[in-house]
Structure 1
Amino acid sequence: MNISTWNMRGLNDPIKVVEIKKFLASNNISVVALLETKVQEKNSSKIQKKIGNGWQWIMNYECSPRGRVWIGWKHAVVSVQLLHKTEFCIHCTVASKNGLFSTTFSAVYGLLSVDTRKPMWREITNFSSTVTCPWLVMGDFNAVLLAADRVNGNVVTEGETKDFDSCMDSAGCAELKSCGSYYSWSNKGQGNLRICSRIDRAIANALWHSKFVDAVVDYLPPGIYDHSPLKGMDVSCPRSGSMLKVWTKLKVVKQGLKELHHKDFAKLDERIEGLRVDLGKIQTQLAACPTDSNVQQSERECSETLKKFLHIQESAYRQKARIQWLQVGDSNSKLFFSAMKERIAKNSIDILYDDTGKKLSTTQEI
């Protein structure tokens, strides 16, 4: 059973219709979600007939006049039942007619801005509470999840990722294993103007991960499009109960770590500045009354707390520097050559001294 999603960025061009028809046939796709079709409802049946008479379709025109989400399936081999539609999601059940495969499937298309995507995150979270079987969510979320999910363009911020991350935690979902290209979209720019990002994804709940152990999502070449198609391949294989317990416990640990970070380490720069201000006020009081033991104790406690958070801040900066190096440090970039020059400067011997400390010469003289 191959399930696929693809953001077409418009399906009115006959060339694109030919490409999608060839893609479905050559990859043996049984269920496909076509996103951002930009096809008017009155023209949808005409385009669907060109794709093939063996396909049936569900669309969300009632919620989105632009036809943002279409789900098609080969009715000879698959049964699909609609559960719910919104502007950015279609939820349904998918079952092979041979009885070997069944799942709840959600095809999603995220809107462009952080604020307009918030209803989608709520929809996914709310729907997750109604699912009692394996559940697969695929599509173009239009949002990155990790700092490494974008090359060039704007730096990934926490504001971009936190809603997606929180949604996955609340819905009890984790990303599927993937192969092929890491990035799913590019602006097709040339040289350093090319921006690439991973905004198309496949995630699933614990029941899916426990049932379809070998499920893999293949990020295929985009062809004439700017998005890559995602092809989900599954191999049914029972997973041991112990592995499911480990997966569940790791999800709990992740949530605990997030809560710890929010409680103790969120807004670190602001907290450090606040501690600096507090320490300054205390030391001003101490200057007026140097022998006040209570103020002395307050100074000691505030100073120790400030040192603690300064060490934490330094550690955080070191980790961010490593992330930046992992992203672009080995790509013959400006960062790489700057780091190389800095290393050479540190390792160079500019001045030599004898045993008495007297300057002997410079490297230029040698």
Structure 2
Amino acid sequence: MIEIKKFLASNNISVVALLETKVQEKNSSKIQKKIGNVWQWIMNYECSPRGRVWISWKHAVVLVQLLHKTEFCIHCTVATKNGLFSTTFSAVYGLHSVDTRRPMWREITNFNSTVTCPWLVMGDFNAALLAADRVNGNAITEGETKDFDSCMDSSGLAELKSCGSYYSWSNKGQGNLRICSRIDRAIANALWHSKFVDAVVDYLPPGISDHSPLVMSCNIHLGGGSRPFKFFNYMADHAQFLDVVRKGWDVSCPRSGSMLKVWTKLKAVKQGLKELHHKDFAKLDERIEGLRVDLGQIHTPLAACPTDSNVQQSERECSETLKKFLHIQESAYRQKA
């Protein structure tokens, strides 16, 4: 518990899920007191005598409300007391065989039907998702991954961006006897991904544990941050619009799940359109004012020599560009209204 207490303090954690604690229920309160009285707790001893899932939070900062407990999951809502952040959160612990994990996949899939807001699922799934998720040991088979893949597809969940170590667990073996796997993950629904676009999960060094702790900062946009993406109708008239959409929609997706394919393609299209908007439409009001100034400066030599063809050409080009951007500005105002 000393290591956990130090980890929570050094990483400024406000909400934590502890999995497979191996603490008997009668001893749980002693452990929690050692961590500190600033933390409140939810555990699943009623569903699992081994209390495999604990959730704790700093009650001065965060409000947590229990939604549902099972042997594999604790579902709750998490919200900051300042009202700037809220999500549905599920802490998950998967059992050690394909058959014993199937009730967990059903639980996650069924819970999805009740969620109408951003939903984050994190934990030790004890299951690989991709063929590259293990080094040494037995090769990963489709039988190991298909339930996880199907659960994510049917629940509309996709993995969050991550940094740090790729593999989250090892058997601590020496040399070629060391087996490493990626069995701990953070996944979320489309509402989460669209609201917290810059969230990154950090896979930290495991220390004395055989698992890497996963740490994610949820305060990325709490202070304002960048504007959310909005598609303006005038972009559809851009000469490169269809090419950008086609390029984004043609990106390949490493997994076969139809929901993730759609999500990946839409994300690629959005990124392409953001880049196009930044290149040709950013700071629209400033561009218009600049063009008005340019046009005024052109009229001075034109008044002195009205027949100068070069100045006439400059006037025509500047005037047409100004009219184009005024039309774009009017279209944007109409859409906002």
TM-score by length of 1: 0.60
C-alpha separation in 1, matches of 2:150 and 2:34: 40
Q: Which of 280, 289, 297 is the aligned partner of 2:313? A: 297
C-alpha separation in 1, matches of 2:304 and 2:56: 78
CA contact (8 A) 2:95 2:101 kept: yes
Identity %: 93
Query: Structure 1 unaligned runs (5+)?
Result: 1-16, 322-366
Residues 297 and 79 (structure 1), Cα distance of their counterparts in 2 relative to 1, 3 Å cut = closer
Residues 195 and 97 (structure 1), Cα distance of their counterparts in 2 relative to 1, 3 Å cut = same
**For residues 195-240 of structure 1, what are the alpha-carbon distances to aligned partners after superposition, in whole Å with 9 as ceiling and x for unaligned?**
00000000000000000000000000000000000x9999999999
Q: 1:44 offset after TM fit, Å? A: 0.4
CA contact (8 A) 2:63 2:81 kept: yes
Residues 297 and 18 (structure 1), Cα distance of their counterparts in 2 relative to 1, 3 Å cut = same
Mean CA deviation greater in 293-302 or 164-173: 293-302
Root-mean-square deviation over aligned CA pairs:
18.9
**For residues 312-343 of structure 1, what are the alpha-carbon distances to aligned partners after superposition, in whole Å with 9 as ceiling and x for unaligned?**
9999999999xxxxxxxxxxxxxxxxxxxxxx
SS across alignment from 2:82: coil
Residue in structure 2 matched with residue 348 of structure 1 by the alignment: none
**For residues 104-153 of structure 1, what are the alpha-carbon distances to aligned partners after superposition, in whole Å with 9 as ceiling and x for unaligned?**
00000000000000000000000001000000000000000000000000
SS across alignment from 1:217: strand
Residues 50 and 275 (structure 1), Cα distance of their counterparts in 2 relative to 1, 3 Å cut = same
SS across alignment from 2:158: strand
CA contact (8 A) 1:183 1:198 kept: yes
* Runs of 4+ more than 3 Å apart: 231-246, 248-321
Q: 1:98 offset after TM fit, Å? A: 1.0
C-alpha separation in 2, matches of 1:96 and 1:46: 27
Residues 299 and 53 (structure 1), Cα distance of their counterparts in 2 relative to 1, 3 Å cut = closer
Query: Structure 2 unaligned runs (5+)?
Result: 214-246
Residues 53 and 282 (structure 1), Cα distance of their counterparts in 2 relative to 1, 3 Å cut = closer
CA contact (8 A) 2:248 2:266 kept: no
**For residues 284-330 of structure 1, what are the alpha-carbon distances to aligned partners after superposition, in whole Å with 9 as ceiling and x for unaligned?**
99999999999999999999999999999999999999xxxxxxxxx
Residue in structure 2 matched with residue 192 of structure 1 by the alignment: 176
Q: 1:247 offset after TM fit, Å? A: 2.4
Residues 49 and 302 (structure 1), Cα distance of their counterparts in 2 relative to 1, 3 Å cut = same
Residues 34 and 306 (structure 1), Cα distance of their counterparts in 2 relative to 1, 3 Å cut = farther
TM-score by length of 2: 0.65
Residue in structure 2 matched with residue 52 of structure 1 by the alignment: 36
Q: May I ask how many residue pairs the two structures share in their alignment?
A: 304
Q: 1:100 offset after TM fit, Å? A: 1.1
Q: 1:99 offset after TM fit, Å? A: 1.0
Mean CA deviation greater in 42-51 or 235-244: 235-244
**Structure possessing the higher relative contact order (Cα contacts under 8 Å, 6 or more residues apart):** 1
C-alpha separation in 2, matches of 1:183 and 1:222: 10
Residues 298 and 136 (structure 1), Cα distance of their counterparts in 2 relative to 1, 3 Å cut = same
C-alpha separation in 1, matches of 2:212 and 2:22: 18
Residues 292 and 80 (structure 1), Cα distance of their counterparts in 2 relative to 1, 3 Å cut = closer
SS across alignment from 1:256: helix
Q: Which of 276, 279, 297 is the aligned partner of 1:260? A: 276
Residues 69 and 284 (structure 1), Cα distance of their counterparts in 2 relative to 1, 3 Å cut = farther
